[in-house]
Structure 1
Amino acid sequence: MRELLSYLHEPELVARFQRRCGLFLVRDPHHGPQRKKARGRTTWSVLQPSQVVRGTTVPGPPVMFSRPFEVRNRFLHVLFLVSAALGHEVFYITCLPFIHWSLDPFLCRRLVNMWTVVMYVGQVMKDVLKLPRPTSPPVVKLEPRVDAEYGLPSTHAMAATAISFTVLLSAPSRIQFQFEWGLLIAVTLSSLVCLSRLYTGMHSVLDVLCGVLISALILSSTYPYWESIDRFQLSSSFSPLLGVFLPLLLSYSYPQLDHYSTTRADTTTILGASGGCWVGYWLDHQLGGPLHPLGEKIPARLPPLTLNSVFRGGARSLLGIVALLGTRQLVKTLSLKALFSCYSVEKSDPNARRRREIEVPYKFVTYMAVGLVNSILVNRGFVLLGLL
């Protein structure tokens, strides 16, 4: 078993997958860091942070240097980069709210709850186990921002599995659709995200497999209690207190590392957004329940795809994203200004935002506000504008 785990964690296994997909590390020192054409192939450069400790490359504070690579299959390159983007903040701040605005607030609430649990478990496991990501060479790394983080498990794989199958398990009671097609879409999307983590060189095969298995375990163990969690979240008088203080406590008690990593900030972002949505859905229920975009008859039929429905959906998405991004920017600016003043920190200090006493509260408050606006105000604004 140890030999198998070691084999699945080998960087060379990832590098072989990348080469089969047409992604090659350029070892010729005469290749510059600029993008250029060479024999019909495209050469790119990537920045990779790493640190050498006792002869071994491990995650550490960012030390940026160029590592050129060559792309020989443009289709797979674009496909896997788009798939990898499904696990980034831009996707979460657009896709999850879109489900609330244009499909079903019930599904969005379930998704946010399960997404938060699997992401928190995954992030904490990374910083407790401290297993490094694949090394370069032989691996090409396409996402240098997260290279200072540890590798196992892949939270992209965990989130993709959780989101896809939470929708698949929850949607039949809310929306009329063919389950077999839903299963095919769930498997396809989660598989693409998992493979993208190998293609981008950010995870080993072991990281990805563990992410999928851990997420499946969390889903299967919590599934019998989803209805009870829904009732508590919407009806209990203790629900808003739990929704605020538990995520805040988990943010402050996040494991400390001997170097700065983005995992604490990312985890606090997730917990803050989840806390805002949790409180927002409770308050929305007290005000008379969420406004259902598909009508009151459940399970609802998906509306026909017409020019009018596309226009209204696009308008809702545009206005909703503007509202969330505006909230994010406003609360972020005000909270940072207050915290810098409280702790007598200069705005020009590049490391100020990395201090726990500043990073945790500003991230938490900012994204809690985003969660509240998403779950309470946006749909009501659509009603006033005649878009819902």
Structure 2
Amino acid sequence: MPELLAYLQDPELVARFQRRCGLFLVEAAHQGRGRTHAPAGTSDTPCGHRPRYEVRNWLLHVLFLLSAGMGHEIFYITCLPCIHWSLDPFLCRRLVNMWTVVMYVGQLMKDVLKLPRPPSPPVVKLEKRVDAEYGLPSTHAMAATAISFTLLLSASSRIQFQFEVGLLIAVTLSSLVCLSRLYTGMHSVLDVISGALISALLVFLTYPYWETFDRFQLTSRMSPIVGLSLPLFLGYAYPDIDHYSTTRGDTITILGAGAGCWVGYWANEQLGETFEPQGPLPAPLPALTAAVLARSAARCLVGASALLAIRQVVKTLSLRVLYSWYNVPKSDAGARRRREIEVPSKFTTYTAVGLVNSILVNRVFVLLGLL
């Protein structure tokens, strides 16, 4: 077993996969001459920084970069809410709940286990933002597995579709995201396999309790208290590590969004306006006419704009208040990494995003005639 684990964590295994997909390291030449001209198909970076790379298969390159994007904030703040706005709020609620649990477990495991990411060389690293984070498990693999199979399991009671086709789509999407983490050089094979298996285990263990949790979340008087206090407690309890990374901040982002959606869905239930499909379930999928697609695109555009706007406003205001409270100069951009500023700022910002997504956006659609 130790030999197998060591093999799966070998960075050369990742580098071989990258080369098979047409991604090659190019040794930086002419050290000390500053910026060099890279050959066609390569990145052009200053010498002495990261090694350059050559792309020989642009189709796979674009495919894997797009797949990797399914694990970033821009995907979560646009595509997941679109399921609420254009398909079924029930499905979005299930996805957000499971996504929050899976991502918190994955982020926590990273900073507890502290296993490094593959080094470069031999691998090519295409992402810089999360390079300071630890590697195991891959939270991209966890999120993709959880989202794909939670949607598959939940949608079967809400929408009419062929289960085998849905299963094929779920496997394909989650596999693409998992492979993208190898292609981008951000995880070992062990990281990716562990992430997918842990996520699958969490879905399996929690699935029997989804209905029970739904009832508590939507109907209990304690629901909004638990929905806000538990994620906030978990955010403050998140462990420190010996260097700064984006892990804690990303975790607070996820907890805040989950808390906001939790309270928002409870509020909708109390107001008697859940915006869920009417009539017998499972309902047939709407015909994809030009009018339906245009209306759906308009909803996504308006909704995403609202979320991005509230994110920017609340982020700016919360940072100003916290900088003033802790007497921090506005010029000190690094202060936002401090726990006492990062946790409340991000939690407040993304709780607001979750509330707007679940409560306000659909009501804006009604005013605009988009529902």
TM-score (norm 1): 0.93
User: Does residue 2 of structure 1 match 2:8?
Assistant: no
What do the CA deviations read for 1:111-147 (whole angstroms, capped 9, x no partner)?
0000000000000000000000000100000001101
Aligned to 1:291: 275
State the Cα RMSD in Å: 1.6
List aligned pairs for 1:46-195, cutoff 5 A: 65-195=49-179
| Counterparts in 2 of 1:335 and 1:28: CA distance versus 1, 3 Å | closer
SS class of match (1:249):
helix
- d(CA) in 1 for partners of 2:18, 2:147: 26
More deviation, 214-223/29-38: 29-38
- d(CA) in 1 for partners of 2:340, 2:204: 36
- d(CA) in 2 for partners of 1:33, 1:285: 60
The equivalent position to 1:327 in structure 2, one of 310, 331, 337, is 310
More deviation, 183-192/294-303: 294-303
Say if 1:269 and 1:363, in contact at 8 Å, map to a contact too: yes
| Counterparts in 2 of 1:35 and 1:20: CA distance versus 1, 3 Å | farther
Aligned to 2:43: 44
User: Does residue 369 of structure 1 match 2:368?
Assistant: no
Say if 2:323 and 2:330, in contact at 8 Å, map to a contact too: yes
- d(CA) in 1 for partners of 2:319, 2:128: 26
Say if 1:35 and 1:43, in contact at 8 Å, map to a contact too: no
**AA in 2 matched with 1:321:** A
Aligned to 2:240: 256
| Counterparts in 2 of 1:109 and 1:161: CA distance versus 1, 3 Å | same
User: Does residue 338 of structure 1 match 2:337?
Assistant: no
The equivalent position to 1:378 in structure 2, one of 361, 368, 371, is 361
- d(CA) in 1 for partners of 2:66, 2:99: 20
Say if 1:33 and 1:45, in contact at 8 Å, map to a contact too: no
Aligned to 2:209: 225
Say if 2:228 and 2:259, in contact at 8 Å, map to a contact too: yes
The equivalent position to 2:258 in structure 1, one of 274, 279, 289, is 274
- d(CA) in 1 for partners of 2:91, 2:157: 10
Say if 2:36 and 2:45, in contact at 8 Å, map to a contact too: no
- d(CA) in 2 for partners of 1:335, 1:382: 28
- d(CA) in 2 for partners of 1:307, 1:103: 16
| Counterparts in 2 of 1:279 and 1:153: CA distance versus 1, 3 Å | same
**AA in 1 matched with 2:187:** H
**AA in 2 matched with 1:43:** T
1:29 positional shift: 1.6
| Counterparts in 2 of 1:125 and 1:166: CA distance versus 1, 3 Å | same
Aligned to 2:291: 308
SS class of match (1:382):
helix
1:43 positional shift: 1.2
**AA in 2 matched with 1:319:** V
**AA in 1 matched with 2:42:** T
SS class of match (1:25):
strand
What do the CA deviations read for 1:67-115 (whole angstroms, capped 9, x no partner)?
2111111001000000000000000000110000000000000000000
Aligned to 1:208: 192
Aligned to 1:353: 336
- d(CA) in 2 for partners of 1:46, 1:155: 28
TM-score (norm 2): 0.97
- d(CA) in 1 for partners of 2:8, 2:14: 9
SS class of match (1:351):
helix
- d(CA) in 1 for partners of 2:2, 2:58: 37
Say if 1:276 and 1:371, in contact at 8 Å, map to a contact too: yes
User: Does residue 24 of structure 1 match 2:8?
Assistant: no
1:65 positional shift: 2.1
SS class of match (1:345):
coil
- d(CA) in 1 for partners of 2:119, 2:220: 49
- d(CA) in 1 for partners of 2:233, 2:45: 37
1:28 positional shift: 4.5
- d(CA) in 2 for partners of 1:44, 1:289: 51
Say if 2:303 and 2:361, in contact at 8 Å, map to a contact too: yes
**AA in 2 matched with 1:19:** R
- d(CA) in 2 for partners of 1:34, 1:223: 53
**AA in 1 matched with 2:104:** Y
What do the CA deviations read for 1:245-271 (whole angstroms, capped 9, x no partner)?
000000001010111010000000000
**AA in 2 matched with 1:12:** E
| Counterparts in 2 of 1:209 and 1:45: CA distance versus 1, 3 Å | farther
1:383 positional shift: 1.1
- d(CA) in 1 for partners of 2:332, 2:241: 21
1:37 positional shift: 6.2
Say if 2:318 and 2:345, in contact at 8 Å, map to a contact too: yes
Aligned to 2:12: 12
More deviation, 200-209/22-31: 22-31
Identity of aligned residues (%): 71
**AA in 1 matched with 2:43:** W
1:339 positional shift: 0.4
| Counterparts in 2 of 1:47 and 1:194: CA distance versus 1, 3 Å | farther
| Counterparts in 2 of 1:34 and 1:295: CA distance versus 1, 3 Å | farther
- d(CA) in 2 for partners of 1:35, 1:44: 10
Say if 2:36 and 2:46, in contact at 8 Å, map to a contact too: no
